[in-house]
Chains A and B, each alone.
Chain A
Amino acid sequence: MFKFTTVLLLTTALAAPVMAKDFKFAATTDPQTMDPHAVNSAPVLGFLNNVYEGLVRRGKDMAIEPALATAWEPIGEGEGWRFTLRQDVTFHDGAEFNADDVVFSYKRASDESSDTRSWFAPVSDVVKVDDYTVDIMTNAPNPIFPDSIANWMMMDSGWAEANNAGLPDKEAGNYATLNTNGTGAFKVTAREPGLRTVLEPHGGWWGEVEHNITRAELTPIQNPATSLAALLSGDVDFINPVPIQDVARLKQNRDVSVIQGIEARVIMLGFDQQEGASEGGNGSSDLFLDPKVREAVAKAVNVPAILQTIMRGNAEVASQLVSPAMRGFSAANATPYAYDPEGAKALLEEAGVAGASFDLKCPNNRYLNDEAVCQAITGMLAQAGLSATLDAMPVQNYWPELRADNFDMYLLGWSPGTFDAEHPIRFLGSTPNEEKKLGSWNFGGYSNARIDELLPMIQSEIDDIKRQAMLDEAAKIMQDEVAYVPLYVQPLVWGARSNIELTQRPDNFFILRWVTVN
């Protein structure tokens, strides 16, 4: 008996380190649904990237790589794209993946009830050629289409229909809101919204396994101090984000490591550029119609100083609306506006608006230290002779204010969903046009005929060099006219126990299959 126990103990002792690779991670926001087509939000898509897969996916460097499609090529003169599908791929429930699922997922994700339908605005049709070939037809040549569908995830048509989840239902929810059946490296084995979500490796995954996790558990922790304590005490292995002010202290601790990078999000200042439209602003509503005044703002704001003090050296100065990590970044226009308070004063004198006063609207819970940044900006503008009144508010009140044009100047962060420089031009640079769905976040009403002309050309240009030339031109116009004042690229700060190896991607997606627990 004694021997038997010893043997048993020995085997468990030996087996334990190999077997149990439990990985616990915490995030600020719980993914609000498990349905990959219901909402278009980073916490949901980021999490579901571990469970569902698209035809293509992004690698460690954000480049597009084959996932459920093994190859793709343009059809004819850019009428669409032909995708060759991977064979022998199974969903978590064992069903086989084929072209029918792609057609089904297209219908589901582009339906009116889906928030992801804007991804498919350029698509005219999806045609099954055979079981493992699909043609996606586009209205116009679309060179970056494969890039734009990395988060379009495949769902099994049979499973969805059997469970009455043929279409996403955001308002009332359905089976797919709580249950998953993807082809990804992990399957969800338990889901308690807001409490915990448990993942286990998918045994039949087609890819080569790099991770050694046997079970992963996501807990949302909203309070930054609590998540930090949980990391320090070892109750969780990973947190995102680490509060900026704790980074230096955390780096001293040998049990944890801080992983830093820059996010895709560029923080910028926007202006009211509509004639006489500002009812809510205080006073000089047409102040920012003059590009000189906008340029004066750009010169008056000392971005490096903001980064040094408020961001504690954890962010990078931005020169344009996308970060250098994005496709289509304009290297020709990579010089940020220089800090030049005297120049700013001179410009204001020239424009005859020295001492003008206006409103600066700012969110106080949307971006890292957003309110503090706005406060600093207010002070810097005052030195240049512009009196800005800061009005900071929670983001849920902020967007309605911006939509109602109640601002003179505002702070905005933009993360291009396609990781391409075309994205901010479409949403922030184009003249607002409800019908064409352009400029939907261009609250200030910036408008330039050449930009509007360039956008469709950029969207349909197949040749990379010609396309880049047009992107450069657009970036230059917006820089010269000071359409926005790009400030900095928001930092990305993750914290992990020191026995964890992982890869940080600039889109702030946490990819479990790159995690190793030592």
Chain B
Amino acid sequence: MLSYILKRIGQSALVLIIVGLVAFSMFRFVGDPIDNMLGQERTMEDVERLRAQLGLDQPFPVQYFKFLSNAAQGNFGVSFRQGRPVADIIAERAPATLELAAVSAILAVGVGIALGVFTAIRRDGFMANFIMSASLIGVSLPTFLIGILLIYVFSVELGWLPSFGRGETVKIGWWTTGLLTESGLKALILPAITLGLYQMTLIMRLVRSEMLEVLRQDYIRFARARGVSERTINFRHALKNTMVPVITIIGLQLGAIIAFAIITETVFQWPGLGLLFINAIQFVDIPVMAAYLMMISLVFVLINLAVDILYAFIDPRLRVSA
């Protein structure tokens, strides 16, 4: 088991280094930050001076190596746009994204599994059919459209919920939370639904089809024949066996929720990492882009690692063979 985990960690580190390399080779296509940093009245001399100062005149492998060696020492550089350490900026923005992602994930997993089980057990019922049809909306509509629709209905027309931002936040140490104020909770509702809707419908459909599959298995029939109660069959035997593929998907989707919060954050002006990244692209703020991409790939790598380890706990056969 230990050697298995160590091997996975080694692979993860390699993935990170490759992601960084790809990212850095792409940066020069994103554009040139110099004109954004200097004003209209700059001279060519200023342009050259600043480029040399930022090390942008060097070939990208050199730039990448510098970034890596600094990052290994915990120094992610200084944002071109804000003139502040990138690590500070990311620490400032991370709570917003993590809170949004956590609430969306809880929403997606909780509601998704419950509805999935419900539609599997009552698969011919009217409600189940209605939920299945409605879930098509969640799968097929793009996130930004859902977000704008929600804003239009609940903010502009009804005026119930704020149209953008995070509301009032409370500081706990370096962490800022919007979960403790009324306006913060209100502001969280629409973005959380927007971000979680796709994952929710995905999980629901997955749980349903897996569950239907499992319910057809022989051991379920035997259990029925033995007179085990429906409740025990459904939730103890069937659901548990449904969960293995579902957990893989949940794990991957959790990473996706954090990484692809970009669109939701842009639509709702949610002050998190996704918005920071979008702004960084527009300004060609290379240190911020690099740190963000490395961080997201780290999140994915860690989640995958966790999922692999979780398998072993859910499926005893893996434990034995490992």
Residues of A within 8 A of B (CB): 32-33, 38-41, 115-116, 118-119, 169-173, 177-178, 192-195, 219-223, 225-227, 229-230, 232-235, 365, 394-400, 403, 415, 417, 427, 434, 437, 440-441
Contact = CB atoms under 8 A, between A and B. Distances in A.
B43 A194 contact: no
B43 A440 contact: yes
A226 B164 contact: yes
A396 B43 contact: no
Interface string B269-285: 10100011011001110
Contacts of A397: 29-32
A144 B29 CA distance: 41
A193 B276 CA distance: 11
B31 A222 contact: no
B36 interface: yes
19 contacts: A169-B83, A170-B83, A171-B54, A177-B84, A194-B279, A219-B165, A222-B275, A222-B279, A225-B148, A226-B164, A226-B266, A230-B269, A235-B165, A396-B31, A396-B32, A396-B35, A403-B44, A417-B40, A434-B43
Contacts of A394: 31, 282
Contacts of B81: 32
A284 B253 CA distance: 53
Contacts of A170: 37, 83
A234 B152 CA distance: 13
Interface in B290-318: none
A194 B53 contact: no
A223 B266 contact: yes
B62 interface: no
In the A-B complex, the 4 residue pairs with the closest CB atoms = A396-B31, A40-B39, A173-B83, A118-B41
B245 interface: no
Contacts of B39: 39-41, 115-116
Contacts, number: 143
A41 B36 CA distance: 9
A384 B159 CA distance: 53
B82 A399 contact: no
Given A32-B81, A33-B83, A229-B164, A222 B32 contact: no
Contacts of B53: 171
Contacts of B283: 396
A434 B49 CA distance: 14
Contacts of B44: 403, 434, 440
Interface of B: 29-45, 47, 53-54, 78, 81-84, 89, 92-93, 148, 151-152, 155-156, 159, 162-165, 266-269, 271, 275-276, 278-279, 282-284
A238 to B, nearest CB: 14
Contacts of A365: 282
A77 B22 CA distance: 62
Contacts of B276: 194
Interface of A is mostly: loop
B32 A225 contact: no
A222 B41 contact: no
Contacts of B267: 223, 225-226
A441 B42 CA distance: 9
B156 A232 contact: yes
A251 B138 CA distance: 34
A235 B82 contact: no
Nearest to B46: A115
B32 to A, nearest CB: 4
Nearest to A437: B43
A165 to B, nearest CB: 12
A427 B43 CA distance: 10
A396 B78 contact: no
A306 to B, nearest CB: 25
A327 B44 CA distance: 28
Contacts of B36: 396
A229 B163 contact: yes
A164 B47 CA distance: 27
A192 B31 CA distance: 27
A219 B43 contact: no
Nearest to A173: B83
A173 B32 contact: no
Nearest to B49: A112
A235 B162 contact: yes
Nearest to A39: B39
B84 A173 contact: yes
Contacts of A395: 31, 35
B33 A396 contact: yes
B155 A33 contact: no
Given A33-B82, A39-B37, A235 B284 contact: no
A355 to B, nearest CB: 34
B83 A226 contact: no
A169 B84 CA distance: 10
A225 to B, nearest CB: 6
A400 B35 CA distance: 9
B291 to A, nearest CB: 15
Given A115-B42, A417-B40, A226 B78 contact: no
Nearest to B155: A233
A177 B165 contact: no
A397 B29 CA distance: 8
Contact of B271 (A118, A194, A441): A194
B269 A223 contact: yes
Contacts of A116: 39
A195 B271 contact: yes
A230 B38 contact: no
Nearest to B40: A417
A173 B271 contact: no
Given A222-B269, A396-B282, A400-B32, A119 B41 contact: yes
Nearest to A41: B39
A171 B56 CA distance: 14
Nearest to A44: B39
